[in-house]
């Protein structure tokens, strides 16, 4: 499929799903927040599953049983846009993203991120960045998991960038389990060339890292520890 057609299809499909979900949520507002969250998760996963299928990707999943009960922070490498769909299709719960502030300008996407309990971060403003971290902590304490891409941007290749230390503050302050995730092959689906190419994509969900069991020194080096876990996962996925 030509990339332009895929983006057009994605926009129309997301718009239709947004309208249908908006109507459902209007009726659910009289019920519980739990009912609203269940609807949002169901639709978000449905969208992710559909787009993976539409792009003719074959997903290989490892370690799904490592996801703990309760809220946690999922920390993943970031190869491409499709990482979001692949991860959401497999984390088995309503989870928000730590997203760039600029995404708020795109209502079709930001409306979904909002109901998923995502947090926008302004990387150029330290004060606003701290507000975003505090908001993320509130969400975690309210029972919502969060997905973070500590590289800060898509690599568009298999090689990983460094994990930013600031992104670890959220998990440490919230004192929730951290679940490292390794994804591979997603950059080949959409970002390479002029066509959307069916491709084998892989995801490995590692054992949780429990913040309360870390020493102070390990907390200081947490970004490096998680980076090594995720990077070693890339090697394992390619065996």
pLDDT in 10s for each residue of the chain, 239 residues: 677 888 899 999 999 999 999 999 988 987 889 999 999 999 999 999 999 998 888 899 999 999 999 999 999 999 998 999 999 999 989 999 999 999 999 998 999 999 999 999 987 888 888 889 899 999 999 999 999 999 988 888 888 999 988 778 888 999 999 999 999 999 888 766 667 777 889 999 999 999 999 999 999 999 999 999 999 999 999 87
Query: Are the C-beta atoms of 52 and 60 separated by less than 8 Å?
Result: no
Which sign, positive or negative, has the C-alpha torsion 128, 146, 45, 2?
positive
d(CA 206, CA 4): 35
Token pair belonging to 124: 């150029």
Residue carrying structure tokens 């409306």? 111
Query: Are the C-beta atoms of 186 and 200 separated by less than 8 Å?
Result: no
Q: Taking phi first (over 0 means left), then psi (-120 to 50 degrees means alpha), and beta for anything else, what does residue 172 get?
A: alpha
For 41, 59, 71, 85, the CA distances from 54, given in Å and listed in that order, are 20, 13, 30, 12
pTM of the model: 0.92
Domain locations in the chain as residue ranges: 3-237
Query: Are the C-beta atoms of 80 and 187 separated by less than 8 Å?
Result: yes
> Does the domain formed by 3-237 have CATH 1.10.3720.10?
no
């Amino acid at each position: 499929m030509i990339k332009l057609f895929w983006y057009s299809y994605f926009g129309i499909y997301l718009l239709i799903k947004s309208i249908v979900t908006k109507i459902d949520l209007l009726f659910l507002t009289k019920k519980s927040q739990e009912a609203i969250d269940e609807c949002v998760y169901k639709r978000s996963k449905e969208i992710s599953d559909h787009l993976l299928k539409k792009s003719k990707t074959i997903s290989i999943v490892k370690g799904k049983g490592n996801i703990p009960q309760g809220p946690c922070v999922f920390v993943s490498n970031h190869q491409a846009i499709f990482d979001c769909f692949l991860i959401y299709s497999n984390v088995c719960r309503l989870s928000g993203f730590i997203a760039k502030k600029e995404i708020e300008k795109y209502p079709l996407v930001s409306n979904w991120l909002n109901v998923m309990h995502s947090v926008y971060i302004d990387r150029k403003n330290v004060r606003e960045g701290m507000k975003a971290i505090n908001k993320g902590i509130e969400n975690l304490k309210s029972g919502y998991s969060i997905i973070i891409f500590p590289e800060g941007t898509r690599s568009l290749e298999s090689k990983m960038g460094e994990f930013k230390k600031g992104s670890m503050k959220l998990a440490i302050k919230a004192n929730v389990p951290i679940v490292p995730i390794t994804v591979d092959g997603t950059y080949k689906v959409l970002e390479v060339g002029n066509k959307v190419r069916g491709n084998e994509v892989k995801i490995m969900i590692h054992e949780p890292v429990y913040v309360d069991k870390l020493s102070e020194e390990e907390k200081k080096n947490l970004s490096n520890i998680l980076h090594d876990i995720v990077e070693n996962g890339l090697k394992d996925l390619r065996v």
